[in-house]
Structure 1
Amino acid sequence: MAELKADVLVLGAGMVGVSAALHLQKRGRDVILVERNDLAGEETSFGNAGLIECASVFPYMFPRDFGQILQYAMNNAPQMRYQFSDLPTFLPWLVRYFLASSRDRTQHSAMAELPLIRRSLIEHEALMAEAGVPELLRRTGWLKLFRSDATLADAVRDFERAKAYGGIAGEVLDSNAIALREPNLTGEFAGAIYLPAPGFVPDPGGLAKAYAALFKRKGGRFLVGDARTLGQDAGRWRVAGSDGAAVAREVVVALGPWSDLVFRPLGYSIPLAVKRGYHLHLAPRGNAVLHHPVLDSDLGYLLAPMSRGIRLTTGVEFARRDAPPTPVQLRRALPRAHGLFPLGDALEAKPWMGARPCLPDMLPVIGKAPRHAGLWFDFGHQHHGLTLGPATGRLLAEMMTGETPFADPSPFAAERFG
């Protein structure tokens, strides 16, 4: 079979990989996008809340409240669940996550990521315009509901902190204001926080596919291949594909939760873990309309008005990436969601499951691999792969092509883990 040659191989065609490929292509690089599926956006990028979270200043860190930690430890929190049999596997990572969640280290992570957060919607808008899919962006913002005065007070404190550090706009709503924004919601709420700035994408997987189509229209090549075959020979990187091998001087690992399948055999001990999550689409009942994504914060689930129906998404499940699905959180959330909004039948036979790739400090790894020429990393975007993909793609492309990066890349270096 013929050998395909390029300047750069990008491994992974989720939102992160496709965005990196587009930004490299824009800077004159000949890029081959390597993906195990026939289409882009079929894995982690397919299943999320659809939010371009440009108002998320502080990352999702490990809680410091003892009562909340005890609830998590007892597996009683709707926001988080773990499998006891997998505890020895991920407990060392959880310890690192806890240590990285101190107030000072959380502040460091937030300020490091803030320039990327601020660019997130801007970069998406530019790509959507170029791809010809502006209709995939809705400027609705989203709602966080709180059922107790205590959780609302904590959220308001966090919101005020985000306003101070990130200039975030928003409103604190009472029950009457909630009803005006979402008249079909039912329940007793202490209040809500409305964040108007974030964009909402009703088909995240479709957006990744639209970006991939743009990449191909501009001359990029898409190769169905196995990233685990990656090897280096005579200064070139090679990966096997269904239509022959692809070779290039440089390669980008953008495989999300599967990135360890490439970097570990190369000798890197980056502490990548996953937070699994589930979703299910349901039909709205009657003429009910959901106008915004809505997070039922105290009960640990989110409803979003997707193109396929109302998407019910769960909180976090700590388990091995490839362990069989255990959608306990989804089963528990279903009756709660039915009580919040008029939902009809499920539109799928079984729920979708995906994995969020996470590092202990909740920052991605972006930049040059320290021990291999031509090897670059772009993974570990935790809950913000959809949000940050185009921004980190730009940052990486600037680093790879010698431009002055728009943000300080040093907090994202792989070397921070030793």
Structure 2
Amino acid sequence: MVEFKADIVVLGAGMVGVSAALHLQQRGREVILVDRHELAGEETSYGNAGLIECASVFPYMFPRDFNQILRYALNRSPQVRYAVADLPGFLPWLLRYYLASSPQRALHSAMAELPLIRRSLIEHEALIAEADVPQLLRRTGWIKLFRSEATLANALGDLDRAKQYGVDGEVLDSGGIAEREPSLTGNFAGAIRFPAPGFVPDPGGLAKAYAALFARKGGRFLVGDARTLEQRAGGWRIAGANGAIVAREIVVALGPWSDQVFRPLGYAIPLAVKRGYHLHLAPRGNAVLNHPVLDSDQGFLLAPMNRGIRLTTGVEFARRDAPPNPIQVERALPRAHALFPLGDAVEARPWMGARPCLPDMLPVIGKAPRHDGLWFDFGHQHHGLTLGPATGRLLAEMMTGETPFADPKPFAVERFG
């Protein structure tokens, strides 16, 4: 049987795994990238808003407002939906999420992640330049719309708090909204434009461009089954489509499927998923969308992707592998048509993906405590596209003995006991 050998095997070819492979390769390691698909970026990294969110200081924590929690509980919020049949399965995780979202603990998560957020666009810019795909980064920023004075006031308070950490935001009135986005229709109390974040009009294409760069630099991309991972004397082995794949060290970067590796190895990491949907639609007539635009009160986002206008939904709490239920897309469609001139759908059905989340909304990055040569890099919640290159650099620095650019302790798996 053919045997493929390397210093390190990275399991998972989404944005997180490809970025880790590139950073390890830059540091002189021979790396094999393994995925169940023949192409990179075919799962979670394909479906998102396309934002490199270098202005997102505070992670998405569980709300503390009683009325908002009640709307969630009654399944009446456009931002969040849950599958009643799956509630017993994820309720314990939701409780941990709620506890981790106390003001003190939420601030701890924000400050731990802040160095990664600040490096996110810088690391992407370096890889985009090396991959020679400047067309996949637009410096437009994005706009958050508010239909009520109350939601605008709350957002302005959040902006004032974020400004303490270097975040810039431009407050827009109705005239400013019309100037920035003349094709939008609606009654708005105001908006905030965040100018710093980058926008990627093809997130899956960017992951593929990074994988192509990895291959040009001598890396190998192989199809394999991560569930076959086993520890052997002196290293690790998995079954590949064309032979065994062997390495001294292994990186688990499988996003929402990481539990298929760490649970058989005895790790009780509280990984859950927030599912989400998107649908591409053609713009109607000469309508143009210049920025990604979030209708915060109605719980959907429109982004001007290469394939069309991408309508993305809020969060769905359900089992990762449960059948899709695109009710959030169906409810958002008439509201989206009222906001922007949309034509026919480009796809036959909505796409569904799963965001891998830990209760404290921080990823797990670092060495597994009970297995030599086993490393974790998953759980990037809503920020896989944003943080992939930054966490790839942090992991590579840890694995090669460099001084990490950020404190890795908050991301250690040991925080879960």
Q: What TM bracket, shorter-length normalisation? A: over 0.9
1:271-330 Cα deviation digits (max 9, x unpaired):
000000000000000000000000000000000000000000000000000000001100
State how 1:56-95 maps to structure 2 within 5 Å.
Answer: 56-95=56-95
Q: Output the CA distance in 2 between the equivalents of 1:161 and 1:138.
A: 27
Q: Output the CA distance in 2 between the equivalents of 1:251 and 1:225.
A: 13
SS in 2 for 1:278: strand
SS in 1 for 2:21: helix
What is the identity, as a one-letter code, of the residue corresponding to 1:12? G
With structure 1 as the length reference, what TM-score do the two structures score?
A: 1.00
SS in 1 for 2:238: strand
Which residue of structure 2 aligns with residue 281 of structure 1? Answer: 280
1:204-231 Cα deviation digits (max 9, x unpaired):
0000000000000000001100000000
Q: Output the CA distance in 2 between the equivalents of 1:370 and 1:192.
A: 46
Give the deviation of 1:135 after TM superposition.
1.1
Which residue of structure 2 aligns with residue 333 of structure 1? Answer: 332
Which residue of structure 2 aligns with residue 408 of structure 1? Answer: 407
Instruction: State percent identity of aligned pairs.
Output: 83
Which residue of structure 1 aligns with residue 98 of structure 2? Answer: 98
Which residue of structure 2 aligns with residue 154 of structure 1? Answer: 154
SS in 2 for 1:298: coil
Q: Output the CA distance in 1 between the equivalents of 2:238 and 2:33.
A: 11
Q: Output the CA distance in 1 between the equivalents of 2:28 and 2:201.
A: 32
1:242-262 Cα deviation digits (max 9, x unpaired):
110110110000000000000
Which residue of structure 1 aligns with residue 173 of structure 2? Answer: 174
Give the deviation of 1:235 after TM superposition.
2.2
Which residue of structure 2 aligns with residue 188 of structure 1? Answer: 187
Which residue of structure 2 aligns with residue 359 of structure 1? Answer: 358
Give the deviation of 1:405 after TM superposition.
0.1
Which residue of structure 1 aligns with residue 7 of structure 2? Answer: 7
What is the identity, as a one-letter code, of the residue corresponding to 2:348? A
Does residue 350 (structure 1) correspond to residue 353 (structure 2)? The answer is no
Give the deviation of 1:380 after TM superposition.
0.1
Q: Output the CA distance in 1 between the equivalents of 2:235 and 2:188.
A: 59
Q: Output the CA distance in 2 between the equivalents of 1:184 and 1:232.
A: 57
1:147-187 Cα deviation digits (max 9, x unpaired):
000000001101111111x2101111111100000000000
Q: Output the CA distance in 1 between the equivalents of 2:170 and 2:235.
A: 53
Q: Output the CA distance in 1 between the equivalents of 2:110 and 2:225.
A: 35
Q: Output the CA distance in 1 between the equivalents of 2:192 and 2:110.
A: 20
Which residue of structure 2 aligns with residue 251 of structure 1? Answer: 250
State how 1:5-404 maps to structure 2 within 5 Å.
Answer: 5-164=5-164, 166-404=165-403
Give the deviation of 1:2 after TM superposition.
1.1
Q: Output the CA distance in 2 between the equivalents of 1:126 and 1:348.
A: 33
SS in 2 for 1:275: strand
What is the identity, as a one-letter code, of the residue corresponding to 1:193? I
What is the identity, as a one-letter code, of the residue corresponding to 2:327? V
Give the deviation of 1:359 after TM superposition.
0.2
- Post-superposition, which runs of at least 4 consecutive aligned residues in structure 1 deviate over 3 A? none
Does residue 417 (structure 1) correspond to residue 416 (structure 2)? The answer is yes
What is the identity, as a one-letter code, of the residue corresponding to 2:79? Q
Q: Output the CA distance in 1 between the equivalents of 2:408 and 2:12.
A: 21
Give the deviation of 1:346 after TM superposition.
0.4
What is the identity, as a one-letter code, of the residue corresponding to 1:127? L
SS in 2 for 1:63: coil
SS in 2 for 1:287: coil
How many residue pairs get aligned? The number is 417
CA-based RMSD of the aligned residues comes to 0.4
SS in 2 for 1:96: helix
Q: Output the CA distance in 2 between the equivalents of 1:239 and 1:30.
A: 17
Q: Output the CA distance in 1 between the equivalents of 2:119 and 2:131.
A: 18
Q: Output the CA distance in 2 between the equivalents of 1:140 and 1:171.
A: 13
With structure 2 as the length reference, what TM-score do the two structures score?
A: 1.00
1:338-382 Cα deviation digits (max 9, x unpaired):
000000000110010000000000000000001000000000000
What is the identity, as a one-letter code, of the residue corresponding to 1:310? I
Q: Output the CA distance in 2 between the equivalents of 1:160 and 1:230.
A: 48
Q: Output the CA distance in 2 between the equivalents of 1:233 and 1:375.
A: 12
1:2-59 Cα deviation digits (max 9, x unpaired):
1011000000000000000000000000000010001000000000000000000000
Q: Output the CA distance in 2 between the equivalents of 1:131 and 1:231.
A: 34
Q: Output the CA distance in 1 between the equivalents of 2:318 and 2:401.
A: 39
1:47-106 Cα deviation digits (max 9, x unpaired):
000000000000000000000000000000000000000000000000000000000001
Give the deviation of 1:134 after TM superposition.
1.1
SS in 2 for 1:320: coil
